[in-house]
Amino acid sequence: MAQCKETAKEFIEDVFSPMVAVLCSAEVETVCQKNGLSFVELIQPFCRLTSEAHIRDPNNVSHPVRNLHIVVHDMNAHLPQNILAKKLLNDVVSNSLPQHSADIMQNNVVTVNNHDLQLDATTPWFEAYRSAFLQIAYPSDHEFLRHYLACIFVVSSSNADPIEQFVKLTHQQSIQQNQQPHKLPKWFMPNILRYYVLVHDVMEQEEAKAETVYQNLKAKYGVLSCHLLHINSRLPASATSGPSDSVNMPNPWSRFIAQKQEMSESAEFESFLRPGDEENDEFPTHVNEGSLQSVSTDVDLALEATEYDSSSSSSQVICHPLGPDSEVLYDPLTSDTDSAVSISSQFTANHAGSKPSADSSGLRCGSRSVPLGVCLTLSDHERLRIFINEFIVKGLISWAEKSIRTLNDQLTTRKGLHRSLFSATKKWFGGSRQTNPAIITNSTNVVYTSDAPEMQMRRLADLAFMFQLYELAYQIYHSAKKDFNNDHAWLHYAGAMEMACLSVFMQDSTNQRQYPLHYMETTITTYLAACKVPHFATRATLLSTEVLKAKGLFAEAAMQFIKMTSEESDLRSALLLEQAAHCFVKMKPPMVRKYAFHMILAGHRFNKSGQKRHALRSYAQALQVYKGRYWSMAEDHINYTIGCQSFNLKQFDVATSALKHLLSANSQQSLPQQTAFLREYLSVFKQLASQAPDDEERELPELPLPIVESNAIKVLCASNAGLIQQDCLGLRIQATGVSFNTTDAENVRFARLEELIVSSISGPPSSSAMSFRPTIQCFTRTSNNTTSPVIAVEEPVTIEVTVINQLKVTLVLRDIRLLWRFTPDECGNAEKAFYSNEQSSNTPKVDKNVILSTPLSEVLLEGSETKQVCISLIIRMMGQLQITGLAYNIGCMSTSGQLLTSAVPDSVSLALGNSSVSAVLPPFSGANSSSLSSPILVSGKVHLEVQGPRLNSTKDERLGKMYGPDKRLNLIITDKMPKLEVFFREFPASLFTGQVCQASVELVNTGHRPLHNVFVATSNPEFLTFSSSPRKPETSEKQADDVGYSSDVIHRHDVTLVTKLDVTSPLDPGSSLVIPMWIRSPDVPGDHVIDFLFYYEPAEAVPHCRHRVLRHTAQLTVHPSLNIRAICGRMVNTGAADQAEDIYRSTNSVFVSLEVENICNVPSAPSLCAVQTLCLSEDWMIKEINSSALKQDVSIGVQECQLFTLKAVKCLHNSDKSSSNALKLSTVSCASDASKTNIPKYISIDFFFRANLGESSKSSRLAPSSFRFVSDLSSANGAESSLAGKLEKSFIFDLNLIIQWQVRRVLI
């Protein structure tokens, strides 16, 4: 239960305050109207006793009376009829809620069980309903708390005969009080207090006449029953000079009198009168013990109607359900039209901010033209306060003291006689047996007369209670309830028990009695079960819960609130359920989930009663508990209901926010339900977007779908390549470049190649290692994003955005485009102008000369699908470009595969917990007939924001969760630059091991400026060479050795990993250059990857960029070909004529036997044949042993071998011509026509050196196709048999053989 403005005791005292009637003459109302008030309204703010008074009980003991409040009503006023009462209660509840949602939630954050709940500190709507409910209740015959104790007769001194007018008013009151049957208002007893007030307008200057009349009045009615009240009706000088001068005057009437308010929410109220209920809805008009069976259970339903038809109410008079039988609310014989003031207007005067009820008086229905109390001064205020004080102290309390003594004496006498006569009969006939009223279904016909001892006891107890004699009241209530129980007068019994319980609570803390909670429980049960009067049960609940709240018994209070909920009254049930929820959250320990559950129930009943704003507030309160607690189905139900209520209240922003939560990735709803949710969201979002004026440009709203994985955004600074074309010159493959699929491993490999090129150009690695930064062409989450991407003017940049459809519904994205903000360089530093393609009034219009972009027409996202969306931009000015978001139009596909429109069926099943509730979604999207066939598409955007890597170097960075910069979406646009495109012609896809083929590289400048200094680096430099820088033999002269052989001399050289291409002059834009290239396949079969990195520089300096690179990755499949094994041995004695020569040749000649095997394993493998053998050695040359045998064309089939025998002859060095780096080249033909080969010797020699990778040691200069033999050559005649002897006669045999072979007609 939320905190109330009044304490429990103050509330009970105000509920049961003494009631006083006022009967005024017409002249008095005229005088009061000069201040914009009636007489009752004039004295309303002063009806509380400000000083302490005293009253004596029947034992002549004085008791203090503090803060006594009296309720003053016009005697001719009538209570509102049932339909008006219903509307009045609804108006009170709806108008007590602040208009703005920000004012609803007061900053009252309570942390309960890890829940930060923002609760309402107060519930003014409940207090207003409670006060209204108690004030419009009709007086009942079983109690006297709502009966008038006194009547104040008010006559003006301007009347022709004031004394006669007092006589007429007194006679009018006597007739009304004594008429049969009794009419409203009801009076406490026959001898009520009559008080006479003479009102004198000081502006009339007839003070003597007023004083004379007042003296006569005191002589006639007594000094203590009369009062002369002076009222000023003249406007003060400050009021005539200007309204600002009277601002500081106090206005105590503003709290009690409501100004006129337009019924702005009248259209929102729904009628509780169902079709056909008007004729059958008959309410009882009188409640007594003899007619309890006629009391309708629809009393409270009648009190809570939400619409009021003035035409029907004027033609048909419906009596109040708690009113007397056949009572006429307005009697033309005893009152005139002008004086018939509605109590409903007086009720609204007690509740500032509530709407005034309908009434015949124009004063209460229209706006007041005269400010309240404009003529009254502070002295007038004091006189009014004195008047009320004298009336209460000298008149009302004195009368109450005498009446209490008189009633007590009468009861003492009559009750004693009554007990003596009936005590014996009750003993014999069981009259003292206690009966449980809860099991009574039919009431007995017990009717008490007005002067019956039981009713006199009740009258005495009520009078004592109203004047704060709570001990006396308790004694009498407790005694009376026993008599009522014996007589089975259940309504009287319940009323006496209710007041006895309250009397115990209202006593001072010195009272030793425990609060009898069971009394109030029995009272509520009796009202509901036995008496069938839920109106009094509701009153008892409202009083009892305040008491329980004051005692901290929140659990018991919650149970009483819940007990009073029923299907008869939605508004009452909603308010009581809400209060029960507040009780649960205030328990120790708090029961948060029960709080949320009962707030949902309250919101449902608020919705049924037409209180849309209260329903929205209740659901929003409950959402705080269920949100983020894995109650997905309950959370969906709450969010959907909030969306519906907000839409009905035209709060499209709140509705959009609520429906947005239905589209979460954790949604467990089915596909049709998600489709319905998305349709409603799009419809409401479209309504929200249409609220903006047409002539006002605005920024695109944010959309929740699809989800954008911001850190997965990629920025590609190079155009995609890798195209394969066929032209007149053959197969043409474009360099692959960089794509979004490039892996980090590839980036590492190419970064090493780039560093190798930069180091070879700029100097040793030690001097360039500190300043080298690899060129990043694709910025991702794993790249170094501390620097911004650099894009050249007129070159495309592509952004890849990963979008995720978190729903099961197929989404349709149309007109997808990037949102950006561009700042050109030429604007200067002061207040740079910028361009933006977002719709906004403060940005210039976007020109195609700035940025060119083509949006994507349509993208389909299946349910739970992740897709990459790529959009390219071409920037045409230098400056800075910031990518801010992604804009698109979104729709969804229905289950049938069509684009969803507003004609989708509305029936869905919303699963809650373990049950499935079939619900028809209300068509709150507002779709009309014209839009039924049009697809639902809304325009919006999502922000693109990237987060840098987590910093973890220092303690502050680890503890503070700090992140580094990420500038991949902040692009720098530099001047126009050259752009190199590389095309590979006739580049093979598969080769045999060791196979050599010729290709070419075409360099094309597609940029806007010339380029030069083109370098290339590869991951496998031993596999290719460019013909622009051939490694030819140093001399072509034949050098004769000592034995008459000839050879070419080749100088050994190192092979670098970086090759500078032969681009002699800058390559202009649009120009191209073709460079031959030789490729030798690896010696290991399988799939091989060869990386090419082309490096080039602009011929003219360009800011932010010194060089550019182009990547290419080639895939090469290698199949096995030949397997070669070599065997060598010493030449034997040939029997030559020259013995010396024969000994020399046997010592310096070696035979080499080559076994060549075809191990090709491809289908339809071709035959292979050896063509030529090349020898590179410092000391040896090769020649044929048998020329005719070697020059025969012998094909080697699959799994076949061929044996070749060659002779290696050692050369004698000439010290003048030889050097340590010189190698001798000798050639032996292995086929009949060795000239068929088209591979120059220098190409084979270059591949030989590339295989050695420039290593200086001989042991590391061997290519995979070359052979080094350390031969253990024994003596020919085997004279030495020991190992030592063999080693002494051995020698080192070192040579390199290069065997050229062909595949059919393809020479290698």
The CA distance from 860 to 927, in Å, is: 25
Amino acid at 149: L
Q: Which two tokens stand for residue 1174?
A: 């090349």
The residue written with tokens 């000081």 in the block is 202
Cα torsion angle, 452, 74, 69, 550, sign:
positive
CA 407 to chain centre: 69
- Contact call for residues 258 and 273 (beta carbons, < 8 A): no
Query: Where does the pLDDT of residue 1048 fall: very low under 50, low under 70, confident under 90, or very high at 90 and above?
Result: confident
The CA distance from 1182 to 1046, in Å, is: 10
CA-based nearest residue to 817, from 864, 871, 868, 737: 871
In this predicted model, which residue has the larger pLDDT, 345 or 552? Answer: 552
In this prediction, residues 1075-1079 reach a mean pLDDT of 89
Can you give the pLDDT at residue 407? 92
Query: Where does the pLDDT of residue 894 fall: very low under 50, low under 70, confident under 90, or very high at 90 and above?
Result: low
- Contact call for residues 899 and 935 (beta carbons, < 8 A): yes
CA 449 to chain centre: 67
DSSP line for 1028-1069: TS----SEEEEEE-TTS-EEEEEE-----SEEE----S-B-T
Kindly report, residue by residue over 825-849, the tens digit of the pLDDT: 875 554 557 788 876 544 445 567 7
- Of 71-75, 772-776, 1213-1217, minimum mean pLDDT range: 1213-1217
Kindly report the number of other CB atoms within 10 A of residue 1109's CB atom. 23
In this prediction, residues 644-658 reach a mean pLDDT of 88
The CA distance from 562 to 564, in Å, is: 5
Kindly report, residue by residue over 1178-1210, the tens digit of the pLDDT: 778 888 776 655 556 677 878 788 887 888 888
* Residues ≥6 apart with Cβ < 8 Å to 59: none
Amino acid at 338: D
Can you give the pLDDT at residue 1233? 61
Residue 368 has pLDDT above 60, yes or no: no
CA-based nearest residue to 205, from 238, 163, 154, 157: 157
DSSP 8-state code for residue 263: -
Residue 269 has pLDDT above 80, yes or no: no
In this predicted model, which residue has the larger pLDDT, 1125 or 553? Answer: 553
Residue 54 has pLDDT above 90, yes or no: yes
- Of 14-18, 85-89, 428-432, 731-735, minimum mean pLDDT range: 428-432
- Contact call for residues 638 and 610 (beta carbons, < 8 A): no
Radius of gyration of the chain (CA): 54
DSSP line for 1181-1236: EEEESSHHHHTS---B-TT-EEEEEEEEEEPPP-TTT--TTEEEEEEEE-SS-GGG
Query: Where does the pLDDT of residue 431 fall: very low under 50, low under 70, confident under 90, or very high at 90 and above?
Result: very low
Can you give the pLDDT at residue 2? 60
Query: Where does the pLDDT of residue 232 fall: very low under 50, low under 70, confident under 90, or very high at 90 and above?
Result: confident
The CA distance from 195 to 72, in Å, is: 13
Kindly report the number of other CB atoms within 10 A of residue 996's CB atom. 21
The DSSP H or E segment spanning 284 is none
CA-based nearest residue to 1039, from 1211, 806, 1236: 1211
Kindly report, residue by residue over 492-544, the tens digit of the pLDDT: 999 999 999 999 999 876 677 888 999 999 999 999 998 999 999 999 999 99
CA-based nearest residue to 750, from 1112, 1253, 1058: 1112
CA atoms within 13 A on the CB side of 715: 30
Residue 248 has pLDDT above 90, yes or no: no
Can you give the pLDDT at residue 1199? 77
CA atoms within 13 A on the CB side of 924: 25
Query: Where does the pLDDT of residue 609 fall: very low under 50, low under 70, confident under 90, or very high at 90 and above?
Result: very high
Query: Where does the pLDDT of residue 906 fall: very low under 50, low under 70, confident under 90, or very high at 90 and above?
Result: very low
CA-based nearest residue to 548, from 505, 509, 594, 588: 505
In this prediction, residues 1103-1128 reach a mean pLDDT of 87
The residue written with tokens 């080039």 in the block is 1096
Helix boundaries (H) for 664-714: 671-689
List beta partners, residue 1150.
1130, 1208
Query: Where does the pLDDT of residue 411 fall: very low under 50, low under 70, confident under 90, or very high at 90 and above?
Result: confident
CA-based nearest residue to 736, from 1005, 1090, 1226: 1090
In this prediction, residues 97-105 reach a mean pLDDT of 58
Amino acid at 188: F
- Contact call for residues 499 and 487 (beta carbons, < 8 A): no
Can you give the pLDDT at residue 244? 43
Can you give the pLDDT at residue 925? 44
Best-predicted range by mean pLDDT among 229-233, 1007-1011, 1134-1138? 1007-1011
Mean pLDDT for the chain overall: 76
Which whole-number Å values give the CA distances from 669 to 632, 634, 683, in the listed order? 9, 11, 20
The alpha carbon torsion through 710, 716, 717, 719 (nearest 10 deg) reads: -150
- Contact call for residues 49 and 498 (beta carbons, < 8 A): no
Which whole-number Å values give the CA distances from 951 to 67, 780, 947, in the listed order? 69, 17, 11
The CA distance from 641 to 620, in Å, is: 10
- Contact call for residues 1097 and 1012 (beta carbons, < 8 A): yes
Query: Where does the pLDDT of residue 1222 fall: very low under 50, low under 70, confident under 90, or very high at 90 and above?
Result: confident
Can you give the pLDDT at residue 997? 86
- Of 639-653, 860-874, 1292-1306, minimum mean pLDDT range: 1292-1306
The CA distance from 332 to 1006, in Å, is: 104
Residue 293 has pLDDT above 70, yes or no: no
Q: Which two tokens stand for residue 1255?
A: 């290593």
Backbone angles phi, psi at 269, to 5 degrees: -80, 140
The CA distance from 352 to 605, in Å, is: 26
Q: Which two tokens stand for residue 21?
A: 């009637």
Can you give the pLDDT at residue 1297? 83
In this predicted model, which residue has the larger pLDDT, 421 or 820? Answer: 820
Best-predicted range by mean pLDDT among 293-302, 504-513, 1135-1144? 504-513
The CA distance from 115 to 921, in Å, is: 31
Residues in the chain: 1308
Can you give the pLDDT at residue 1158? 83
* Helices 570-585 and 124-135: angle between axes, nearest 10 degrees: 130
CA-based nearest residue to 1223, from 1039, 1008, 1069: 1039
- Contact call for residues 130 and 578 (beta carbons, < 8 A): no
Best-predicted range by mean pLDDT among 345-359, 1193-1207, 1239-1253? 1193-1207
Helix boundaries (H) for 235-376: 237-241, 277-280, 299-302, 310-315, 343-349, 362-365
Cα torsion angle, 952, 958, 961, 965, sign:
negative
In this prediction, residues 424-430 reach a mean pLDDT of 46
Omega before residue 437 within 30° of 0, cis: no
Kindly report, residue by residue over 549-589, the tens digit of the pLDDT: 999 999 999 999 999 998 888 999 999 999 999 999 889 88
The CA distance from 129 to 94, in Å, is: 10
Residue 646 has pLDDT above 80, yes or no: yes
List beta partners, residue 1096.
1108
The residue written with tokens 């869905």 in the block is 908
Where are the strands (E) in 161-291, listed by range? 193-201, 226-231
In this predicted model, which residue has the larger pLDDT, 435 or 22? Answer: 22
Percent with pLDDT over 70 in the chain:
71
Which whole-number Å values give the CA distances from 433 to 436, 487, 489, 1031, 1188, in the listed order? 10, 10, 14, 132, 147
Where are the strands (E) in 687-842, listed by range? 707-708, 714-716, 724-727, 730-734, 778-779, 790-792, 796-804, 811-824, 835-836
**pTM of the shown model:** 0.73
Q: Would you call 1283 helix, strand, or coil by DSSP? A: helix
Q: Which two tokens stand for residue 931?
A: 């839009």
Backbone angles phi, psi at 316, to 5 degrees: -130, 120
The CA distance from 870 to 817, in Å, is: 10
The CA distance from 17 to 124, in Å, is: 21
In this prediction, residues 119-146 reach a mean pLDDT of 88
- Of 915-929, 1065-1079, 1170-1184, minimum mean pLDDT range: 915-929
